[in-house]
Amino acid sequence: MGYFRILSAIPGFFLSSFFVMLLWDVIASRMGIAPDINYVTSMLITITLWIAVAPLAAVSANKGKF
């Protein structure tokens, strides 16, 4: 069952990367950084955020099981 959860997350990753690319101008103008990125860079930002948030999500999901 875990394998299918990983497969179901793949479209969400690409969609999240697309949204990061579209919204980057708003984020960059507030942070004072370069306002233009490409899709590959937005994928790198998205995977970095997912790696940082995944352990927190796993802990919160398992919190009720103990």
Residue 22 DSSP code: H
Residue 7 has pLDDT above 90, yes or no: no
Task: Please choose, from the candidates 46, 26, 44, the residue with its C-alpha nearest in 3D space to the C-alpha of residue 35.
Answer: 26
Angle at CA of residue 27, ends 20 and 37, nearest 5°:
55
Q: How many other CB atoms are found less than 10 A from the CB of residue 12?
A: 11
Nearest Cα to Cα of residue 25 among 15, 34, 10, 35: 35
Residue 48 has pLDDT above 90, yes or no: yes
Q: Does the predicted TM-score (pTM) go above 0.75?
A: no
Quick: pLDDT tens for 15-44.
999 999 999 988 888 888 888 899 999 999
